[in-house]
DNA sequence: GTGGTCTAGACCACT
DNA sequence: GTGGTCTAGACCACT
């Protein structure tokens, strides 16, 4: 269910965010569902509770989950629509950034090379 | 000195920002130099003063220029270092976005095509 | 059952949300109950269907109701607990905001006056 | 210059955020100024570097400061305007929350009492 | 030197 | 039990 690579360049807390986001996106975790507790996930993944906490705090700030101190963390009712709204903004942001980079002196080929590198690195994921 | 294309897809106020940014970047405009007044530039470019004002306000927000009420706008002392800092952050952001888009289901070729299109549109600039 | 004041300062769609929320809170509407259809409520209250739709969409986003395309809208199973969770967070937020306002230069009496004004306006509701 | 109360109910990292925000607001720290390094402030306040880091990360996310890994943290060019924009939103948010609390069953006197308590606690600050 | 991440482990308030 | 805060201290990449 969870695959964390402690040697990856992407921080562990971000990997956890990505994994949970996918589980919500794919519907494995539905609105209202309780997430594993900070300690439980910490034990399961053999990762320090502080690192899990950081991920949960971030997800709560983004509204994807609702943390209730003393009770637990729950998938927000509007998590799916938040994810859709987020996705809709990705491509325009990408275009703006690409435009800025081209104006900043990078060539089309520079950007393509960067993308190719990322594509290869992310493949096994 | 200034080339504004009123038919371009990029808003005029952004074109002005880009032009001024380049003049600062290349050193044509040095820290402390006074920019043309809103009215002067408005007349020179035959563009609505409100549009010029919007560009200046934006540049002031980013700290590239400093507007002194009653006196005029001046290139900020640290304009160059701000531009360098900004540029340094562009590429990591671009990589993160590309990664998200690849994970979101876009293919490497989708992204390359988007970049190619932007590259052609921006060429004449 | 429904009291809508078209002359109120609070938008109609919010009034509908408030009314429905109270009906859920008080148990008049129980989890699983079907809400009146957009058209039915529109006719009953003599209010534009788009306005009703907006209220329903908002309630669906918050997870209080679940809209099933082609069948109708239903009170969510966990609606009551969502309302309790929401209420529990209101007061801490209020305290934080009050603290910030006091630090920002507002006096205790300023805040009390604001509250008194709201209290009077909301009374007839 | 810095007054941290480790026994206060407001977390230390928030106290640090508040103090730094004030220094920026009052102009003691100007746009472009470098903040004390995480370690330096940690030693000065005798507080764990992780706690300082948390404050700095928060301030960076809000755009008030710009952190450049390997170089340091700097007051953002538009810090003042961000603070003004933030302040402008406080009172409307406060009114909305007060309205919700009154509708949720709290009385005018409940809210006034809460404010009085905060007012007394915050006085020595 | 700088910021950023992470572990190990303690303590708090609240359910 | 739950999430949230904090300390102590290590290690990383980057300037």
Q: Which of C21, C57, C63 to substitute to test the interface with A, most A CBs within 10 Å?
A: C63
Give the pLDDT of residue C60.
Answer: 87
B40 Cβ neighbours under 8 A, 6+ residues apart = none
Residues of C in contact with D118 (CB under 8 A): 95, 98-99, 102
Interatomic CA distance for residues D95 and C98, integer angstroms: 10
Q: Which of B6-10, C17-21, C57-61 has the lowest mean pLDDT?
A: B6-10
A104 compared with B71, residue with greater pLDDT: B71
Instruction: Please report which residue ranges of chain A form alpha helices under DSSP H.
Output: 12-25, 38-45, 49-61, 79-103, 108-122
Question: From C78, which residue of chain A is nearest by alpha-carbon distance?
Answer: A32
Query: How much is the mean pLDDT over chain B?
Result: 86
Query: Residue D6 above 80 pLDDT?
Result: yes
The footprint of strand E (CB < 7 Å) covers: A 6, 11-14, 47-51, 54, 69-71; C 88; D 35, 37-40, 49-50, 53, 56-57, 60, 67-73
**Average pLDDT of C100-125?**
85
Residue D72 Cβ under 7 A from any strand F atom: no
Tell me the sheet residues that pair with A73: A67
Q: Which of C21, C59, C61, C90 to substitute to test the interface with A, most A CBs within 10 Å?
A: C61
What does each of the 125 residues of chain A score in pLDDT, given as a tens digit? 778 898 888 899 999 999 999 999 999 999 889 999 999 999 999 999 999 999 999 999 999 999 998 999 999 988 988 999 999 999 998 998 898 888 877 889 989 988 888 887 765 44
**Average pLDDT of B28-44?**
91
**What do you get for the CA distance between the two ends of chain A, in Å?**
13
Query: How much is the mean pLDDT over chain C?
Result: 86
Interatomic CA distance for residues A98 and D78, integer angstroms: 24
Residue D48 Cβ under 7 A from any strand F atom: yes
Tell me the sheet residues that pair with B72: B68
Give the pLDDT of residue D101.
Answer: 87
Residues of D in contact with B63 (CB under 8 A): 31-32, 76-78
- Which of D91, D97, D118 is the closest to C93 by Cβ? D97
Asked if B91 lies within 8 A of A100 by C-beta distance, the reply is no
Query: How much is the mean pLDDT over chain D?
Result: 89
**Average pLDDT of C105-113?**
92
Give the pLDDT of residue D105.
Answer: 79
Q: B19 by DSSP, 3-state: which?
A: helix
- When pLDDT is cut at 50, 70 and 90, the band that residue B67 belongs to is confident
* B84 close contact with D: CB closer than 8 A: no
Residues of C in contact with A76 (CB under 8 A): 63
Protein-proximal nucleotides of chain F (any atom < 7 Å from a CB) = 1-10, 13-15
Structure tokens given for A101: 């980079």
Asked if C18 lies within 8 A of D103 by C-beta distance, the reply is yes
Comparing every residue's Cα with the C1' atom of nucleotide F12, the nearest one is: A9
Tell me if A20 sits within 8 A of A61, measured CB to CB: no
Rounded to a whole number of angstroms, the distance from the CA of B71 to the nearest CA of chain A is 31
Neighbours of chain A (3+ CB pairs under 8 A): B, C
Q: What is the pLDDT of residues B80-105, one digit of tens each?
A: 877 877 877 788 888 888 988 988 88
* A90 close contact with B: CB closer than 8 A: yes
Gap from D4 CA to E9 C1', in Å?
24
What string of H, E and C letters represents the secondary structure of chain D? CCCCCCCCCCCHHHHHHHHHHHHHHCCCCCCCCECCCHHHHHHHHCCCHHHHHHHHHHHHHCCCEEEECCCEEEECCCHHHHHHHHHHHHHHHHHHHHHHHHHCCCCHHHHHHHHHHHHHHHCCC
- When pLDDT is cut at 50, 70 and 90, the band that residue D125 belongs to is very low
- When pLDDT is cut at 50, 70 and 90, the band that residue D103 belongs to is confident
Tell me if A73 sits within 8 A of A66, measured CB to CB: yes
Residue D11 Cβ under 7 A from any strand F atom: yes
Q: What is the pLDDT of residues C29-68, one digit of tens each?
A: 888 899 999 999 999 999 999 999 999 998 988 888 888 8
**Average pLDDT of C94-115?**
90
Interatomic CA distance for residues D51 and A5, integer angstroms: 26
Structure tokens given for A39: 């300690």
Interatomic CA distance for residues C61 and C71, integer angstroms: 18
Asked if A104 lies within 8 A of B94 by C-beta distance, the reply is no
Could you identify the residue written with the tokens 């933030």? D86
Tell me if A95 sits within 8 A of B114, measured CB to CB: yes
Asked if D66 lies within 8 A of B85 by C-beta distance, the reply is yes
Interchain CB contacts (distance < 8 Å): B and D? 17
- When pLDDT is cut at 50, 70 and 90, the band that residue D122 belongs to is low
Tell me if A75 sits within 8 A of A83, measured CB to CB: no
Gap from B72 CA to E8 C1', in Å?
58
Neighbours of chain D (3+ CB pairs under 8 A): B, C
Give the pLDDT of residue B123.
Answer: 59
Query: Residue B125 above 60 pLDDT?
Result: no
Comparing every residue's Cα with the C1' atom of nucleotide F4, the nearest one is: A69
Give the pLDDT of residue D78.
Answer: 86
Of D6, D53, B96, B99, residue with least CA distance to A50: D53
Give the pLDDT of residue D124.
Answer: 44
**Which range in B78-82, C7-11, C94-98 is most confidently predicted, on average pLDDT?**
C94-98
């Amino acid at each position: 269910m969870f695959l964390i690579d402690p040697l990856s360049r992407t921080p562990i807390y971000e990997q956890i965010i990505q994994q949970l986001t996918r589980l919500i996106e794919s519907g494995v975790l539905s609105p209202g569902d309780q997430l594993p507790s900070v300690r439980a996930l910490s034990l399961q993944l053999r990762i320090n509770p502080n690192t899990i906490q950081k991920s949960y705090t971030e997800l709560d700030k983004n509204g994807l989950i609702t943390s209730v101190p003393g009770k637990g963390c729950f998938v927000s009712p509007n998590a799916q629509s938040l994810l859709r709204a987020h996705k809709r903004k990705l491509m325009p942001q990408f275009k703006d950034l690409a435009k800025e980079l081209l104006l900043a002196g990078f060539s089309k080929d520079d950007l393509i090379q960067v993308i190719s590198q990322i594509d290869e690195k992310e493949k096994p994921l």
